[in-house]
Amino acid sequence: MNNRPKVLFLDIETSPNLTYIWGLHTELHTMDMWVKEWYILCWCASFKGDKTMITSALPDFAKEYKADKENDRFILEKLWKLLDEADIVVGHNSVAFDLKKINARFAIHNMKPPSPYKTVDTLLSARKHFDFTSNKLADLGKTLGLGEKIDTGGFSLWKRCISGDMSAWKHMVKYCSNDVILLEKIYLRLLPFMQTHPNFNNYIDEVNPVCTNCGSKNLQMNGFAYSNQAKYQRVVCKDCGTNCRYKTNMLKNKVKVVSN
């Protein structure tokens, strides 16, 4: 077993599709109207407990970028190594967007999938456990008092990156990096409410139990949890605030009336 699971915070930025349209409100498109499909512009990531921000953008590979400004294989190969190393990947709308986009590009480049990892999507957690007015990353940051997204200046930033403007690329990576910082803050605030978070006890080889959501040993007794036929010691994590319980049934050796 690993000493502690590696939790990776991740965000990607993609180019738009380029297509012909009949009008602003046209919704019907066919593939023969497509000029160019999207690709990944850059990604930013950091491991929990490590302040280092890892980034990769197309111009980082200068020779390859000069030859083909849309070839994202090289930044994907770097990302593949991180995903292969991670035990848990955290993102905002990552289940429906980021991870599917990444997998699509892996397949297009005939790359194999990385080692399996668990996912935590803060958008899905916000929808499931809360009733915020808006669950967007920017709005959650403001509502929770955790920070704000960096202003992009609108769609022009994406157009400037696609055209090869290096100052725009620098701003794009800064924008993406800030999203990862904000993502981690939101994740930590929502963490104690996540009832289906990957269980850290399955990764940490410890005799004594640890917090299911963060792996801390700093647990405090907090009453009992009951089912119709069992009683469990309940504990609260003094670090992240998660409520969890021991697996041992305290009524195991006691005679119980189980039905009328």
Distance from chain centroid for Cα 163? 29
Q: Each residue of 224-236: pLDDT tens digit? A: 888 888 888 889 9
Residues 17-36, mean pLDDT to the nearest whole number: 83
Q: Which listed CATH number (3.40.710.10, 3.40.190.10, 3.40.50.1400, 3.30.420.10) goes with 7-193? A: 3.30.420.10
Q: Each residue of 31-66: pLDDT tens digit? A: 888 899 999 999 999 999 999 999 999 999 999 999
pTM > 0.85: yes
Residues 6+ apart with CB under 8 A from 186: 92, 122, 137, 140, 141, 144, 146
Give CATH 3.30.420.10 domain extents, the chain.
Answer: 7-193
CA distance 77 to 189: 32
